[in-house]
Amino acid sequence: MYFEAELKGTKYKVDVIELRSQWKISIQKEGDEWQHFEISKTDYQHTESYFSFLFRGVSYMMDVVGKDTEYTVFTRNSFRTVKIFNDEMLLHESLKRGGGFGGDRELKAGMPGKVIEIFVKEGDVIKANKPLLIMEAMKMENEMRSTRDVKIKEICVKQGDSVEAGATLVKFEDP
């Protein structure tokens, strides 16, 4: 199965083949050569709550959380979020977003919390890196800012709302 992936802003092509007793995985970092890995299934085993991954003898306890196009991988006190798309999804994403992935059209809540204050209103044209609203979670107030120049299409929440992780807060369109 062929994927395109993105990790910390770097793009990768990834190819996964499942055989009876091993995984064949090829990874190409943008601009680099393909690298090929053969991983025996006994070296990538699921235990009760995590994977034990023996990679060329190095032992990793791993966990992978996520679905669809975004997975967060935890290991050795570290974690990274990997965006991953297969062909259908790439097509779907490009239709939805009008080219390339990552050009956000909405602001979503990264964690469950409460909307404390909203600084913008529908129809406002906002420069990049301007405060949009303040969310409170775990006694901390977090200011959420625009990542690019946008026009506010819709504000989906109001002050005082409690929202779940992933809830859409504000929708944008091009200014």
Q: Among residues 21, 31, 57, 78, which is the contact residue for other proteins, using CB under 8 A?
A: 78
The closest alpha carbon to 39, from 58, 12, 65, belongs to 58
- Mask of contacts with other proteins, 10-29, x by CB under 8 A? x-x-xxxxx----x-x-x-x
Token pair 């977090």 in the structure block, residue: 142
Q: According to the 3-state scheme, what is the secondary structure of 44-94?
A: EEECCCCEEEEECCEEEEEEEEEECCEEEEEECCEEEEEEEEEHHHHHHHH
Nearer residue to other proteins within complex by CB, 14 or 156: 14
- The single-letter code of the amino acid at 163 is V
Total chain residues near other proteins (CB under 8 A): 58
**Total Cβ atoms within 10 A of residue 172:** 21
Query: Does residue 39 belong to the site contacting other proteins (CB under 8 A)?
Result: yes
The residue (of 13 and 171) whose beta carbon lies closer to other proteins is: 13
Nearer of residues 32 and 174 to other proteins, judged by Cβ? 32
Q: Does 35 bind other proteins (CB under 8 A)?
A: yes
With tokens 């406002």, the residue in question is: 124
CB contact at 8 A, 170 and 152:
yes
Q: Contact positions toward other proteins, by CB under 8 A?
A: 1-3, 5, 7-8, 10, 12, 14-18, 23, 25, 27, 29, 34-35, 37, 39, 44, 49-51, 53, 55, 60-67, 71, 73-80, 82, 84, 86-87, 110-113, 137-140, 142, 165
